């Protein structure tokens, strides 16, 4: 999207688009809403995420510099170069969805009301980071369990529900649909009968592939594509209780939780900031990187033009131009997140240091090709 003083052209290897087309879209002045955004707030969120336990190596120098700045515009324009992500057809428009921090009602004791378990990480779940065996596969993690001398896939959602006595519940909630949506959001709050509210955070996942149940509901004609949202899925489930398990079990992925002292946290391990953090496909956008998001509010249709920080990931967040917008908590956040499936443009900011640019190119050559010119 931007015209640079020192041009940086990035081409997705599978996009087939030419450098000139990208150069014409490269320049700070062409970022819609950049001048009017609260860049000082964006800087504060960037600094906060720089305090993550593990900071991306390409960001270490610029993270250190950030604490010398108070003016967001000066910091980002001085230390970064903007590039626009393109899809396989060379287009800059992608999909922006939303997520939020849900509130559930629950208990540490199983009762007739609170009978749907949120599980802790199973003791027999094995996690293998493939980088320890195959460095080229450093972005991949294998999950399963040992049967005999073999590592096999872990149980599906349906299997786990049938054999729930083998797992240890963290607590119980009063609604299986709320429980399912909690897994999709990745973290949330649970209000106990005493009025105390506790935080529950993502701990692990069973290794099974995520399946969006909304797809099946559309295929079956239960919900029209134009009406698809978290709210319409919930309504359908409430109106069709005998079919709920069948539909939920289409998603074999199960998320396990732990109690946390923090509110919603992302993959960086840092508490998320509403409307300033996004979840991304880390094979395209590394965690910690600033990303300018141009999209629209799903209810008001007003423009959203904000510099955000990639701080989270998700099983459904896959693609060349793909982001999940964190709305925070509360009824309004739930409404916006549930309805959001907007078109949008993502502009990633890359540190200007020459060495960093070279390392970026080498580290991600499977996804993008970088060419720096005078």
pLDDT tens per residue across all 374 residues of the chain: 332 222 222 332 223 333 323 333 558 998 999 999 999 999 999 999 999 988 899 999 999 999 999 999 999 999 999 999 998 888 999 999 999 999 999 999 999 999 999 999 999 999 988 777 777 777 778 899 999 999 999 999 999 988 877 899 999 999 999 999 999 999 999 999 999 999 999 999 999 999 999 999 999 999 999 999 999 999 999 999 999 999 999 999 999 999 999 999 999 999 999 999 999 998 899 999 999 999 999 999 999 999 999 999 987 888 889 999 999 999 999 999 999 999 999 999 999 875 554 444 333 434 344 444 33
Sequence ranges of the chain with CATH classification 2.40.40.10 = 8-94+273-372
Q: Which CATH class is domain 8-94+273-372?
A: mainly beta
pLDDT of res. 298: 96
Q: Which two tokens stand for residue 110?
A: 């199983």
Q: Quick one: how far is CA 143 from the chain centroid?
A: 20
pLDDT of res. 142: 87
**8 CB neighbour count, 10 Å cutoff:** 20
Q: Which CATH architecture has domain 100-260?
A: Beta Barrel (2.40)
Confirm whether pTM is higher than 0.85: no
Sequence ranges of the chain with CATH classification 2.40.240.50 = 100-260
pLDDT of res. 26: 57
pLDDT of res. 322: 96
pLDDT of res. 215: 94
Task: Check residue 329 and report its DSSP letter.
Answer: E
Strand 116-119 with 169-173, pairing? antiparallel
Residue 289: φ, ψ to 5°: -80, 140
Q: Quick check: helix, strand or coil at residue 146?
A: strand
CA atoms of 314 and 283, how far apart (whole Å): 12
CA atoms of 292 and 76, how far apart (whole Å): 11
């Amino acid at each position: 999207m931007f015209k640079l003083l020192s041009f940086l052209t990035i081409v997705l290897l599978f996009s087939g688009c030419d450098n000139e087309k990208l150069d014409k879209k490269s320049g700070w002045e062409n970022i819609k809403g950049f001048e009017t955004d609260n860049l000082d707030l964006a800087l504060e969120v960037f600094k906060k995420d720089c305090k993550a336990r593990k900071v991306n190596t390409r960001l270490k120098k610029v993270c250190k510099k950030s604490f010398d700045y108070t003016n967001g515009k000066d910091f980002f324009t001085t230390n970064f170069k903007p590039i626009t992500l393109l899809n396989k057809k060379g287009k800059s428009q992608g999909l922006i969805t939303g997520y939020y921090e849900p509130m559930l009602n629950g208990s540490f004791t199983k009762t007739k009301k609170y009978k749907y378990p949120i599980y802790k990480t199973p003791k027999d779940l094995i996690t293998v980071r493939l980088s320890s065996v195959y460095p080229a596969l450093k972005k991949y993690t294998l999950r399963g369990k040992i049967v005999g001398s073999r590592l096999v896939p872990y149980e599906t959602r349906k299997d786990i529900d049938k054999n729930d006595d083998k797992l240890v519940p963290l607590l119980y909630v009063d609604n299986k649909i709320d429980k399912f949506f909690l897994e999709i959001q990745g973290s949330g709050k649970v209000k106990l009968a005493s009025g105390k509210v506790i935080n529950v955070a993502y701990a692990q996942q069973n290794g099974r592939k995520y399946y969006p149940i909304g797809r099946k509901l559309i295929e079956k004609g239960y919900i029209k594509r134009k009406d698809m949202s978290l709210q319409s899925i919930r309504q359908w489930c409430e109106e069709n209780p005998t079919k709920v398990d069948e539909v939920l079990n289409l998603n074999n992925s199960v998320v396990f939780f732990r109690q946390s002292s923090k509110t919603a946290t992302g993959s960086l391990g840092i508490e998320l900031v509403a409307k300033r953090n996004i979840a991304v496909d880390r094979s395209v956008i590394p965690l910690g990187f600033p990303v300018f998001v141009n999209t629209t509010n799903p209810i008001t249709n007003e423009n959203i033009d904000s510099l955000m920080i990639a701080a989270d990931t998700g099983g459904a967040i896959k693609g060349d131009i793909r982001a999940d917008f964190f709305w925070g908590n509360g009824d309004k956040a739930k409404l916006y997140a549930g309805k959001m499936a907007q078109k949008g443009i993502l502009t990633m900011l890359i540190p200007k240091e020459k060495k960093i640019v070279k390392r970026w190119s080498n580290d991600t050559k499977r996804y993008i090709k970088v060419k720096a010119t005078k």
